[in-house]
Amino acid sequence: MKNLFLLTLVSILMFSCETTVVEGVELGPAPGYLVSQDGKIDARDADPSNLAIWEKYIEAHNNKDYETISSINHDSIVLNLWDGRNLFGNEAHLEVLKGYMDEFSPTWNTFFSYTMHVDGQKGDWVITGHQIDQTVDGEEQSISDICDVFIVDEKIRRIIVYRKEN
């Protein structure tokens, strides 16, 4: 009898912890939005695995691992840089990146990252901030970048960079 009682209790506990998705349930107000030509589009939390993709990408930058960077880049990646330049494609990105790395020896230190999904878009965004320590004309310099990173199918499709000199 004790075993039957114990088995019943364990079964109740196990099945009471199951979570089921109920279709048609209202999600409530979105925690954010993106403004487009059509108005505001809701933005919500996205898959946290996007953060791991970005962390691997930054680690590859710090290790000057261009092969890994290239493998994470979408073939038609677009970079909108802080200085107004726009780079199109993996090869163009790697060429400019290698020149930057050789000249300034930067190190990226991430201080925040958040992933979000904009309703109706295929892909997710990572909004992230970095302090970059680099050498300019023999002197140490610190700058901060905020990046909007668009990830589609686990590849980085677009990076928009905003920069502040510290």
The larger pLDDT score, comparing residue 9 to residue 81, is at 81
* Domain that residue 155 falls in: 44-165
E strands of the chain, at which residues? 32-36, 39-45, 73-80, 86-88, 107-118, 124-136, 139-152, 155-165
Mean of all residue pLDDT scores within the chain: 86
Query: d(Cα 67, Cα 89) in Å, to the nearest integer?
Result: 15
Q: Quick check: 91 pLDDT over 70?
A: yes
Residue range 133-161, pLDDT digits in tens? 999 999 999 999 999 999 999 999 999 99
- pLDDT for res 115: 94
- Specify the number of domains making up the chain: 1
pTM (predicted TM-score): 0.79
Q: Which residues of 65-75 are buried (b: 16+ CB within 10 A; e: fewer)?
A: eeeebbebbbe
Sign of the four-CA dihedral 92, 76, 55, 124:
positive
Sign of the four-CA dihedral 87, 73, 111, 132:
negative
Residue range 47-67, pLDDT digits in tens? 999 999 999 999 999 999 999
Is the residue at 29 inside a domain?
no
| Spatial CB neighbours of 74, under 8 Å, sequence gap ≥ 6 | 90, 152, 155, 156, 157
Sign of the four-CA dihedral 43, 45, 49, 54:
positive
Average pLDDT over residues 8-35: 54
The larger pLDDT score, comparing residue 87 to residue 15, is at 87
Is the residue at 31 inside a domain?
no
CATH number for the domain that contains residue 86: 3.10.450.50
Query: d(Cα 65, Cα 70) in Å, to the nearest integer?
Result: 9
| pLDDT interval class at 98 (50, 70, 90) | very high
Is the residue at 113 inside a domain?
yes
- pLDDT for res 26: 63
